Chains A and B, each alone.
Chain A
């Protein structure tokens, strides 16, 4: 299994540009989520999904959109990039076995918005 994969690894955008961060998992996990991590900070939840067709907002959803059309993929869309969105983005997936799920994280996407 490849686990959780994220593309691209690095991205530089100009203010106002839009882009999609890709996340895929091959473990047939129901739950997927997106976090952002700013320097010296913990991870903050952006959006999450508990299954195909179901998404919900986390702590910091503004400026981001998600959709979950398949179990495997959970893309994160930046609608109009702003410098405040410069961060490292992590995607994670988990399978709630008896309600006690553990999360698997991807390697991250490092985004800079100029």
Chain B
């Protein structure tokens, strides 16, 4: 699987958009980008995933560059409850797969 690089920490003002970057320069054509987050002391929670196109759901948007070497998770209107560690994972579609998690980005949303 392609490795990912994320900044260790970021902060954002409440109500503003939080843009969390992820570098995956060795990603291959059949690998997807997944995002999870972990709010303090809880189990990780799935947010969104995508292959090539930009994706949006009720939680966030995932913007992927045309060469697919990097992506950005966007929380359009961050709230204090979005304070969490965000994990970017790259994995192949299909087959048996259990993801491994790195250290992620610690996002702090402040008033």
The stretch that binds B, out of A13-21, A40-48, A65-73, is A40-48
| A35 and B102 alpha carbons, distance in the complex (Å) | 12
Q: How many A-B residue pairs have CB under 8 A?
A: 59
* 8 extra A-B contacts, CB within 8 A, seeds A98-B94, A100-B93: A42-B103, A43-B101, A99-B93, A100-B49, A100-B94, A102-B34, A102-B46, A102-B49
- Of listed A45, A48, A58, A105, residue having the most chain B CB within 10 A: A105
Interface residues on A, range: 20 to 34
Is A50 located at the chain interface by the 8 A CB criterion? yes
Q: A90-B43, A107-B43 are in contact. Are A101 and B97 (CB under 8 A)?
A: yes
| A107 and B104 alpha carbons, distance in the complex (Å) | 19
Residues of chain A touching chain B, judged by Cβ–Cβ distance below 8 Å, are 4, 31, 33, 35, 41-45, 48, 50, 58-59, 88, 90, 92, 96, 98-108
Chain B residues positioned under 8 Å from A50 (CB to CB): 96
Give the dominant DSSP class at B's interface: loop
Q: Which residue of B lies closest to A110 (CB)?
A: B41
| A99 and B67 alpha carbons, distance in the complex (Å) | 23
Query: Quick one: which of B35-52 are within 8 Å of A by CB?
Result: 36, 41-46, 49
Q: Which residue of B lies closest to A58 (CB)?
A: B98
A/B interface sample: 23 pairs, CB < 8 A? A31-B96, A42-B87, A42-B102, A42-B103, A43-B100, A44-B100, A45-B98, A50-B96, A90-B44, A92-B43, A92-B44, A99-B95, A100-B32, A100-B49, A102-B46, A102-B49, A103-B44, A103-B99, A105-B42, A105-B45, A106-B43, A107-B43, A108-B42
Q: Which residue of B lies closest to A45 (CB)?
A: B100
Q: Which residue of B lies closest to A4 (CB)?
A: B43
Report the minimum CB–CB distance from A114 to chain B (whole Å).
21
